[in-house]
Copies of this chain bind each other. A is one copy, B any other.
Amino acid sequence: LLGQIANTNAQEISEALADIGVDVLHHSVVGDNKERVVAAVGRALDRSDAVIVTGGLGPTPDDLTREAVAEALGVAVRRDESLVAYIKEVFARLGRDMPESNLKQADLPDGAVAIPPEGTAPGFHVQRDDKLVVCLPGVPWEMRAMLVKDVLPLLRERAGEGMIVSRQVLVVGLGESLTHDKIVDLVDAQTNPTIAYLAGKGVVRVRITAKASGEREALAMIEPIESEIRSRLGSAAVRGTGRSLEEAVGSLLTEKAASVAVAESLTGGLLGAAITSVPGASRYFKGSLVLYSTDSKSAIAGVDQEILMAGTVTQDVAIALARAAAERFRANLGLATTGVAGPAEHGGEAVGAIWVAAFFAGQGYARKVRGDGDRESVRAIAVTAALDLGRRLLEGTL
């Protein structure tokens, strides 16, 4: 609430729930104030079948989720002996004295089932009538581990007999309204599978979700819709099941036992950072030359002075950078970005002017792209455009 961090926990949990077909209708954020936490949990219980709470499970006085959830449920707090033993054991193992206050973390609402800690804070879930409250630590990686191991299986089970399966089609270069125009009749006609989509950073995600008696049955319902959608969207639809463009590019490179290297100007390292955000990227990513100054484009990447004289945001510079990346790192694919991120124009080029390029199988390819929005948005659009150029070359759909 002070604006120091974005609520990525709400995002991650929502995405995971969408994947298993659970509708998320509300996010609420309140501070470490017992009255407001009790009210928020109570309101959430009134309007939902399940409530997931994150944060406030530490040992300090402002950690009051346990007490607040107990109060919202109208039950007492009791000490969980298995958690007491666990906490004592952790301190013993570290050879440290345990402050008595730490045992607070073993207090759970009556009737709750403990979720063993991933880091230091235990989680728990508790049922009232037919409603479920799940409390997870606020630290993102601790939350994530419990979500996957404990919470999703629990919710899948409660979702009843059927199996919910979803597949996602990534769409690049069409935009949300053109994507919508091409498939709106399918979206409107479907109830099972359902089709939903959302856009961000130049990528539209079309999600097809089916509910059936088993996984095979659900996939059989998804497949004809997915292939109809793919055929209407053509090469704008990224092949495969990657959850992001960088994951899709990584899968294509792995499939072809090929490697990639990049050279970046306006993106300042974001293109390499995107590629290496995928676990296992070291199998195919060699490295990146981030050449922010004009000097470095010639001194480090060997771009001709003559080419640079005509400006740094040109097709020729982009291709020379992509080629330098491929050659210097001995990679099969070279990708490059150059452009003006803003806030001010640069060398006569307007903010948002972008060239991306690729060097693949001895040949250069380039595309001009227009970035809109602020500095961050322009840079994100450049990363997406460069990855998509590489994706199309690897797929053979350029």
Instruction: List residues of A whose CB falls within 8 A of some B CB.
Output: 1-8, 10-18, 24-31, 36, 119, 139-141, 144, 196, 198, 200, 205, 207, 262, 264, 267-277, 279, 281-282, 285-293, 295-296, 299-300, 328-330, 341-343, 346, 372-377
Task: Decide if B3 touches A17 in the complex (CB within 8 Å).
Answer: yes
Task: Decide if B30 touches A2 in the complex (CB within 8 Å).
Answer: no
- How many identical chains are in the complex? 2
CB nearest to A203 among chain B residues: B4
Task: Decide if A292 touches B287 in the complex (CB within 8 Å).
Answer: yes
Q: Collect the chain B residues with CB atoms within 8 Å of residue A10's CB.
A: 3, 6-7, 29
Task: Decide if A11 touches B18 in the complex (CB within 8 Å).
Answer: no
Task: Decide if A268 touches B277 in the complex (CB within 8 Å).
Answer: yes
Pick 28 A–B contacts, CB within 8 A, sort by A. Answer: A1-B25, A1-B26, A2-B14, A3-B14, A4-B11, A4-B205, A5-B198, A5-B200, A6-B6, A6-B8, A25-B36, A26-B36, A139-B373, A141-B374, A144-B374, A269-B276, A272-B290, A272-B292, A273-B273, A276-B341, A279-B342, A282-B346, A286-B296, A287-B292, A287-B293, A288-B290, A295-B330, A299-B328
Known: A200-B4, A374-B141. A276 touches B292 (CB 8 A): yes
Task: Decide if A292 touches B300 in the complex (CB within 8 Å).
Answer: no
Q: Collect the chain B residues with CB atoms within 8 Å of residue A31's CB.
A: 25
Task: Decide if A264 touches B268 in the complex (CB within 8 Å).
Answer: no
Contact of A279 among B25, B119, B271, B375 (CB under 8 A): B375
CB nearest to A273 among chain B residues: B269
Task: Decide if B270 touches A273 in the complex (CB within 8 Å).
Answer: yes
A216 to B200, CA, bound (A): 43
CB nearest to A18 among chain B residues: B2
A14 to B29, CA, bound (A): 12
Q: Collect the chain B residues with CB atoms within 8 Å of residue A290's CB.
A: 262, 269, 272, 287-290
Task: Decide if A289 touches B292 in the complex (CB within 8 Å).
Answer: no
CB nearest to A300 among chain B residues: B328
Closest Cβ of chain B to A38, distance in Å, is: 14
CB nearest to A17 among chain B residues: B3
CB nearest to A30 among chain B residues: B26
Q: Collect the chain B residues with CB atoms within 8 Å of residue A140's CB.
A: 373-374, 377
A281 to B275, CA, bound (A): 23
Q: Collect the chain B residues with CB atoms within 8 Å of residue A285's CB.
A: 268, 292-293
